Amino acid sequence: MAQRRLTDFFAHRRPGPRATLSRTKPTWGTPSSAKNVPHVRVPSSGGRRKRARLPDDPACNEPTRDEPAPPARRKLKLTADVVPGPGSAEAPSSPEHSSVSKKTKKVALSADQLPRLAPQEDEVPSKITFSEIKSCLKRARELGARVQELKASAQRNDAGEPGALEADGHSSRPSEEKAPAYQRFHALAQPGPPGLVLPYKYQVLAEMFRSMDTIVGMLYNRLETVTFAKVKKGVQDMMRKRFEERNVGQIKTVYPASYRFRQERNVPTFKDDVKRSDYQLTIEPLLDQEDGSTATQLTASHLLQRRQVFSQNLVERVREHHRVFLASLSPPMVVPEDQLTRWHPRFNVDEVPDIEPAELPQPPTTEKLATAQDVLARARSLMSPRMEKALSDLALRTAEPSSPLSTSPALPATPPPTPPAPLKGVSQDLLERIRAKEMQKQLAQMTRRPEQEPRLQRLERLPELARVLRSIFVSERKPALTMEVACARMVSSYHVAMSPGEMEKHVQLLYELLPDWLSLHHIRTDTYVKLDKAADLAGVTERLARLTRAEEVL
């Protein structure tokens, strides 16, 4: 049996360009086949005999040194030109080649189907665009109908039909003009103990006054003419909010003695859009002249004092609305102004109406005849008195028939408030007593000082703490306990996290209210707590609840 050659192995593993598509098994030399194949003897110097290579031998396809060696691994080209068809002569017959040809056919088919799928993909944007156009048209029709409804409602309001009123007497605003939640509930989100909180819009106005006072003080101290254009730019840069003449009018309404406003000309400007001959609104701060001096400046103390006066005026305006609200309650309430520490619980602070802006000086209007009406008004002065009287009589006769229609009918008186349906059948005296008690409780809550809040919170905890303390004495089986031990047991038994020092304040208050049930004994450096375990616990808790109610009313 002939020995395999190394060249045959490489020729089988690394075929040449011709063997890329069709591979054939090499014919190995056997003793039987060696007889038919002629061999050429080549003489060699070493005495060795070398077998001649035939042209058909696969080993002859090895690349020479001059030719470049083929790459180690060739990539299969999945194109329609390279892959032979099933009926072509170059189609391989081996299983490996058949599997490869199947894969290439699938890829070729998918490549052929790509042009067919392209139009379908192009049709998708057209469908989406059509649906979007339909939705836009539908939305436009809805908006058009909405605009028609708003126009009709505006015409009805102009004709004199009364709008729907809310329960508190204010006109209902459309949902588009509804203020955001951080403005409508600004008073409820204030940190710290409750007090006389200002509405959000009033606080913004106070901040505008502070910024305006700062800008005006800087310009006034430099002996520069203060104009509204300069103040507007400075305030908007400080607050990042719009500052208009309406806000200046609100400031004048709240604090009339703060500034003097005038319309002046020939004020030096450095802008192209403002001429020197134009009228400008000038602002001058009003200061208290001290010791007859005329050259006073707007110092930091003046700014602080003016800010405090402005805040007090804002609070006073809210007080007026609060007094009106208290008077509108079913049992009207009257609270002394010096004792008021917080607003009524049902008084919505952020719903206080805006401040009406005061009128600012306007530039004088020069008379110009721009319309025919102006011309007729000017020609009226050229008429004789007799003709003018005849025209006035004619105007009066034409206005008489429409005068009765112009008068609005008197509004009917509001009916007395009727009790709600769930309260029908309840005694009116009982309702009056309940309302009086509730009014007394709310009055005490509005006039309560901030330092009374911690005491009331301790009073509310005392009934439960009394039960906890008695259970501790029963479980310890001792007539007396030290203050440290009793407070530590109570802290571990109470459901609210509390420090031993805070618990000791509760025990001291319990001793102050019920000295016959709880007693404290100071012996040397320790304080002992002694409890009357024979007393009725229900009676003790009832006494504590009664004392708590009495404290809340006061």
- For the chain, the distance separating the N- and C-terminal CA atoms, rounded to the nearest angstrom, is 125
Which of these, 481, 527, 532, 487, lies nearest to 507 by C-alpha position?
A: 487
Question: Residue 11: pLDDT band by 50, 70, 90 thresholds?
Answer: low
Tokens describing residue 468 = 């906890």
The bridge status of strand 480-482 relative to strand 518-523 is unpaired
Separation CA 254–CA 202 (nearest Å) = 10
Average of per-residue pLDDT across 134-159: 82
Report the range of poorest mean pLDDT among 152-156, 232-236, 401-405: 401-405
44 contacts 30 by C-beta, under 8 angstroms: no
Choose the weakest-confidence range: 36-40, 264-268, 440-444, 539-543. Answer: 36-40
Contact indicator for 466, 510 with CB cutoff of 8 Å: yes
pLDDT at 440: 80
DSSP H helical segments within 228-380, as ranges?
Answer: 228-239, 245-254, 300-327, 372-380
**Which residues sit opposite 379 in a β-bridge?**
none
Q: Quick one: tokens of 334? A: 């009257």
**pTM higher than 0.85:** no
Contact 34, 19 (CB under 8 A): no
- Give the torsion through C-alpha atoms of 504, 510, 512, 514, to 10 deg: -150
Q: Is the pLDDT of residue 78 over 80?
A: no
pLDDT(355) > 80: yes
| pLDDT value at 166 more than 50 | no
Tokens of 217: 């003080």
Lowest mean pLDDT among 219-228, 288-297, 508-517, 529-538: 288-297
CA pseudo-torsion sign 299, 304, 310, 316: negative
Q: Which residues, at least 6 apart from 234, have a Cβ–Cβ distance to it below 8 Å?
A: 211, 214, 215
pLDDT greater than 90 at residue 174 = no
Helix axes 537-553, 500-513, angle to 10 degrees: 90
* pLDDT of amino acid 365: 75
CA separation for the pair 181, 94 (Å, rounded): 80
What's residue 554's pLDDT?
66
Q: Can you tell me whether residue 489 is helix, strand or coil?
A: helix
Share of the chain above pLDDT 70, in %: 62
- Burial readout 37-67 (b: 16 or more C-beta within 10 A, e: otherwise): eeeeeeeeeeeeeeeeeeeebbbebbeeeee
Instruction: Calculate what percentage of the chain has a pLDDT beyond 90.
Output: 28
The answer to whether the beta carbons of residues 187 and 342 sit under 8 Å apart is: no
Nearest CA to 183 out of 316, 351, 415 is that of: 351
Structural tokens at position 367: 């008379």
Does residue 128 surpass a pLDDT of 60?
Answer: no
- Segment of 29-43, 366-380, 403-417 carrying the highest mean pLDDT: 366-380
- Say yes or no to pLDDT of 285 above 90: yes
Mean of pLDDT values over 292-316: 86
Q: Is the pLDDT of residue 310 over 90?
A: yes
Q: What is the pLDDT of the chain when averaged over all its residues?
A: 74
Distance CA 51, CA 87 (A): 40
According to DSSP, the β-strands at 526-531 and 259-264 are unpaired
Give me the residues paired with residue 260 across strands: 284
> Can you give the length of the chain in residues?
554
Tens-place pLDDT, residues 440-495: 888 877 877 777 888 888 888 999 999 999 999 999 888 899 999 999 999 999 98
